[in-house]
Amino acid sequence: MLAPAAAAGAALVPNGAPQPLTMIAPASAFSGEAGRYPWYRVAFIGGVDLRHGPSVEAPRTGETLCQNATFATAEELLGADGRIYLRLADGRGWAFDDSALFPHDPSVVRGFWQPVSLVPASGMQPQVPGATGATLGLGGPGVGAAMAGMTMA
């Protein structure tokens, strides 16, 4: 799995509302095969224990994904318990999305990758990822030639 190079944590604006988490990585990290997979971020503060199979009852692999870790999934299965089980694309095991059961405290959050630019277009003010909820310099010609960003709502 190719992990993002840097992270700007979720920021709080003056009214206290959390803003999206934006992560920056080289555009090449998400081209080819890696770009086909859905990506997730671990939201639960205690992390997520990986399992050998698609069940919370399956034996643990011994690896825990810490909060804010990102991962690509190769398979998603809806379990009878309401969780969506996620097979990691790198083969380390299974995680789960329990947002249908715990919408206010999900274990993981699905994200998407979109092109961003580090240099704002002429006449635009630069924005800090996470500070305003916007990714840096979205849109415009040539965007994404150097970087790609993952936005988690």
| pLDDT-based confidence at residue 100 (cuts at 50, 70, 90) | very high
Q: What is the mean pLDDT of residues 84-92?
A: 95
Q: Tell me what the pLDDT averaged over the chain comes to.
A: 71
pTM of the predicted model as reported, rounded to 2 decimal places: 0.59
Residue with tokens 């909820």: 133
Q: Does the pLDDT of residue 129 top 60, yes or no?
A: no
Residue-level pLDDT at 12: 40
At residue 34, does pLDDT exceed 70? Answer: no
Mean pLDDT, rounded, for 98-120? 82
Tokens of 136: 């840096």
In sign, the C-alpha dihedral spanning 70, 74, 79, 82 is: positive
Contact in structure between 41 and 47 (CB atoms under 8 Å): no
Q: What is the mean pLDDT of residues 123-150?
A: 38
Spatial separation of the C-alpha atoms in residues 50 and 92, rounded to whole Å: 8
Region 105-114: what's the mean pLDDT? Answer: 85
Residue 140, classified by CB atoms within 10 Å of its CB into exposed (0-12), middle (13-18) or buried (19+), is: middle
Question: Is residue 127 within 8 Å of 136, Cβ to Cβ?
Answer: yes
